Structure 1
Amino acid sequence: MELTQVRLLVTDFASCYRFYRDVLGLEPQFAAEEGPYAKFTPDGGTGGIALQDRAQMAQVLRELAVEPRGFRSLVVLRVDDIDGYCKEISARGAELVRGPSPMTDRMRVAHVMDPAGNLVELQQWLAPRG
């Protein structure tokens, strides 16, 4: 079995697409700002993060027509320099929800929210897992 992607269902596709491309700096596999689907593969990563227009998916699974409440997902991205990356994405419009701050003695994290309300955790590993 192989994980091909984590797909986030979003209502405002264009805003979310621009957030992952322009703010977080992830490279889309193809230009698709108006949707209904796009996939981003982080540097050196496997699989990826995909966006799917919620209305299109609701045509397949009718129960998705209702917008969820509260956090439903957490996307985690590892970066080499969390302070520098947070400054960079803040300059491009990201609003930090928390951090950067220690999570454990081996990791520092920061959190941002995408336009659909999905939480994105940025991690900098200070020491490898042992």
Structure 2
Amino acid sequence: MDISIHTTFLPHDDPEASLAFYRDVLGFEVRGDVGGGRMRWITVGPAGQPGTSILLAPPAADPGVTDAERRTIAEMMAKGTYGWIMLATADLDATFDKVRAGGAEVVQEPTEQPYGVRDCAFRDPAGNMVRIQQVR
């Protein structure tokens, strides 16, 4: 079986702030931007990896989501417990410094984890956890 990860979803509550974080701070390419106002679906991805993308989307746009579910989603986003992603870099310290300088909320500075990886963590403008691992 030949399966790859094409696109993953992260919610946003402010498309401009999310776009600035993923494009300007992380350096991702913008591959698509549709909709308007706060109801924008923005696709970004790392340069040189056209087959892997992140869809930044309004979390409660699905017509099947109830008002109670929308409130729960908003509460989870505010706590930073709704969405997260793990990225990788060859130079964790330089990446950490760049993301911190870009104004992202630092959750964890670069740390050697007891399970054998070195990583750090930030929150994006929507509260999503962004963990970045050192790749050797």
Q: Say whether the fold is shared (TM-score over 0.5).
A: yes
More strand by share: 2
**TM-score after normalising by structure 1:** 0.79
Gap regions ≥5 residues in structure 2: none
Gap regions ≥5 residues in structure 1: none
Give the fraction of aligned pairs with identical amino acids, expressed as a percent.
Answer: 27
Find the partner of 1:17 among 19, 22, 43: 19
**TM-score after normalising by structure 2:** 0.76
Q: CA deviation at 1:12?
A: 1.6
- Counterpart of 2:29, as a letter, is E
1:98 & 1:79 partners in 2: Cα distance?
16
- On the 8 A contact 2:104/2:125 being kept in 1, the answer is no
- Counterpart of 2:117, as a letter, is M
- Counterpart of 2:56, as a letter, is L
- On the 8 A contact 1:106/1:125 being kept in 2, the answer is no
User: How many pairs align?
Assistant: 124
Instruction: Say if 2:61 is the partner of 1:61.
Output: no
State the Cα deviation string for residues 77-100 of structure 1 (Å, max 9, x = none): 101100011111222222321020
Q: CA deviation at 1:44?
A: 4.6
RMSD value over aligned CA atoms?
Answer: 2.4
